[in-house]
Structure 1
Amino acid sequence: MFKRLKAGLKVALAVLPLALGGTAMAEADGLKVAMVLPGPISDNDWNSVGYNGLQAAAKALGVEVAYSENVSDADAERILRDYASRGYGLIFAHSFSFGDAALNVAEDFPNTTFMAGTAKELAPNLGTYSNPDYQGAYLAGMLGAGASKTKTIGWVGGMPAPNMLANLHAYEAGAKAMVPDSKVLHTFIGSWFDPPKAKEAAIAQVEQGADVLSAQGVGVIDAAIAKNVFALGAMTDQNHLGPKVVLTSVTWDLGPLVTAVAKAVEDKEWKSQNWSYGIAEGSVKLADFHGLDAGVPPDVLKAVQAKFEAIKSGAFTVPLDTSNVE
């Protein structure tokens, strides 16, 4: 009876968030992995992808994991430092804006491995990992322009970080490849998570003629529903957020990357570098169309699929452009 109660307690600890800091841990021996996230793990977007990747690594390797969600830039260094001081051997700073905080903490904890999303600068114990969703953004641009009746499509994102700029430029390139005279509207709302502002920006684009929207932030799909235009989701299959308007989504499965990094740390084979898993590695894909592809010309769908296969095989390389835009 005591053994059964003890086992049940461990299960409860694995799924019950701690009251302080929004963390949750799974009981295991060996490497402990933590992730610090800028928004809620329920966003069906960037933070959900991070959380799901962390849980996938826990399942694959049996490592102990913890996370903190809704962490502001101002609090990032304190929380990263807390995890390091508590013996977490691998810590992911899952935000484009946590790089400096991770670098500061890494200097003080040389025996802890840190990973920061697109860090500006690396250290012997600080690596980076990029989200090559710009590869999928190229396909989304092709699809959006090909499905548009107005030849005007929109894109709404958070901050002009390198990854977001790469996504925008690839989206534009894909659109022009499919429809040379198409127009792409873009807006950076100045925040990683501000659904009302994202919705407002997307509605403004629809009022300028956009009838397909790339939802690079929470709130854009709400605008698509309100204006009855197509939306292209990001990070996860977001069709359930707008079953009648979310044509497909560019998904990112972070599980393989987090698992590979954790395994490398365990095996003492980790290297400070940019870890990037895209279409070729099976991490970036287009989600199911859920029947909405009936509203897209067949030749457009065929062209998008052919380009996906070309990217996967290496026959075509999506241009990586992180230049600033107005």
Structure 2
Amino acid sequence: MTPTRRHLLALAAALAAASPGLALAQGKLKVAAIYTVPFEQQWVSRIHKALKAAEARGEIEYKASENVANADYERVMREYATGGNQLIVGESFAVEAAARKVAKDFPKTAFLMGSSGKPQAPNFSVFDNYIQEPAYLSGMIAGGMTKSNKIGMVGGFPIPEVNRLMHAFMAGAREVNPNVQFMVTFINSWFDPPKAKEAAFAMIDQGADLLYAERFGVSDAARERGKLAVGNVINTQDKYPDTVVASALWNMEPTIDAALKKVKEGKFAAEDYGHYSMMKFKGSELAPLGTFEKKVPADVVAKVKAKEKAIQEGRFAVKVDDSQPKSGK
């Protein structure tokens, strides 16, 4: 072996050791995800979809666990970290302390967790569903579609991630219809369709003719009683073509793709990825009106389009209000 070649090989080895990104770029990243609810639950389905897309492109090897109990979360997280996964994704809201503890014990593993908290150096990044912009737009449509001026809202838990979307929806509805009144209830569960359905029925009995379906089960109640619904996070209009008027969609691809790029380049650090969920990053959008395209009044559609343009051009900012919403005007 010539000295020059020997020196080049030594230099390449040193660079690979100093910069993991160079070594990682050669193969697929190993990524694992831990979810406390089923894959089909709205929030988690968006993360799962984005990771499955990266898997389909051949970028990552992807493993995931669903329905992991809170008490079991730390154990599963440690197993994935010990198993050599380079990025671990999940929602840590109910297991915040345990998740952050695991991240401290595995400083060379990248963690990207749904969280209301701050990033934790050196390797614990957070994300959130900042989709209040399309939630506001969907509220405008709701305000223009209600005939009784009573809108029912069924949420999971009154945490910032839910509260801010409800407030944005309510503000959008009020812009179009100052007479609208809201009934707000929380079922204290992330996945209990029968409980959400019962809560929705109670609101319909009190005069609500349009329901904000933050949880699964609400649109079923609306369909059974011939009322309308507005979706959140995912678009279920294909299942409820005569019920779901509009939906605020969350696209996790910008968040996931940004994290994968940084892990691959060896540049992953503790950051807040929340802004990738906003409309300017294509992290959220108002779903097409589809079956309701001709049913929503033309003047309401015009107002929504004008507001959407104002948001995209930075001329209008939807207020972020994380406080618990209350029933009333």
2:91–2:115 contact (8 Å) kept in structure 1: no
Identity of aligned residues (%): 38
| 251, 254, 267: which one aligns with 2:252 | 254
| 228, 231, 234: which one aligns with 2:232 | 234
1:212–1:229 contact (8 Å) kept in structure 2: yes
Q: How does 1:102-181 map to 2 (within 5 A)?
A: 102-124=99-121, 125-181=123-179
Cα displacement (A) at 1:301? 1.1
- 1:268 paired with 2:266, answer yes
CA distance in 1, matches of 2:132, 2:98: 26
Cα displacement (A) at 1:30? 4.1
2:241–2:291 contact (8 Å) kept in structure 1: no
Q: In terms of mean alpha carbon deviation, does 210-219 or 111-120 score higher?
A: 111-120
Give the match for residue 312 of structure 1: 312
| 93, 102, 116: which one aligns with 1:96 | 93
Q: How many equivalent pairs are there?
A: 298
Cα displacement (A) at 1:134? 1.5
CA distance in 1, matches of 2:237, 2:189: 23
Q: Deviations over 1:192-220 (max 9, x none)?
A: 00000011111111112211111111111
Cα displacement (A) at 1:61? 5.8
1:96–1:161 contact (8 Å) kept in structure 2: no
Q: How does 1:151-230 map to 2 (within 5 A)?
A: 151-230=149-228
Give the match for residue 32 of structure 1: 30
| 57, 64, 67: which one aligns with 1:67 | 64
Larger radius of gyration, structure 1 or 2? 2
CA distance in 2, matches of 1:47, 1:60: 20
2:135–2:232 contact (8 Å) kept in structure 1: no
Q: In terms of mean alpha carbon deviation, does 302-311 or 98-107 score higher?
A: 98-107
Cα displacement (A) at 1:181? 1.9
CA distance in 2, matches of 1:250, 1:205: 22
Q: Which has the higher contact order (CA 8 A, sep 6+)?
A: 2
Q: Deviations over 1:278-315 (max 9, x none)?
A: 11111211222222132221111111111112111211
1:229–1:245 contact (8 Å) kept in structure 2: yes
- 1:83 paired with 2:80, answer yes
1:80–1:102 contact (8 Å) kept in structure 2: yes
CA RMSD of aligned residues (A): 1.7
CA distance in 1, matches of 2:147, 2:293: 15
Q: How does 1:277-292 map to 2 (within 5 A)?
A: 277=276, 278-292=278-292
CA distance in 1, matches of 2:105, 2:92: 20
Letter of the aligned partner of 1:78 in structure 2? R
SS of residue matched to 2:294: helix
Query: Against the structure 1 CA distance between its residues 260 and 59, is the aligned structure 2 distance closer, same or farther, given a 3 Å change threshold?
Result: farther
CA distance in 2, matches of 1:136, 1:101: 33
Letter of the aligned partner of 1:219 in structure 2? G
Q: TM-score, normalised by structure 2?
A: 0.86
Letter of the aligned partner of 2:265 in structure 1? D
2:151–2:208 contact (8 Å) kept in structure 1: yes
CA distance in 2, matches of 1:211, 1:95: 35
Query: Against the structure 1 CA distance between its residues 281 and 97, is the aligned structure 2 distance closer, same or farther, given a 3 Å change threshold?
Result: same
SS of residue matched to 1:285: strand
CA distance in 2, matches of 1:156, 1:246: 15
Letter of the aligned partner of 1:323 in structure 2? S
CA distance in 2, matches of 1:164, 1:95: 15
Q: Which runs of 5+ in 2 are unaligned?
A: 1-25
SS of residue matched to 1:239: coil
Q: TM-score, normalised by structure 1?
A: 0.87
CA distance in 1, matches of 2:205, 2:69: 33
1:230–1:246 contact (8 Å) kept in structure 2: yes
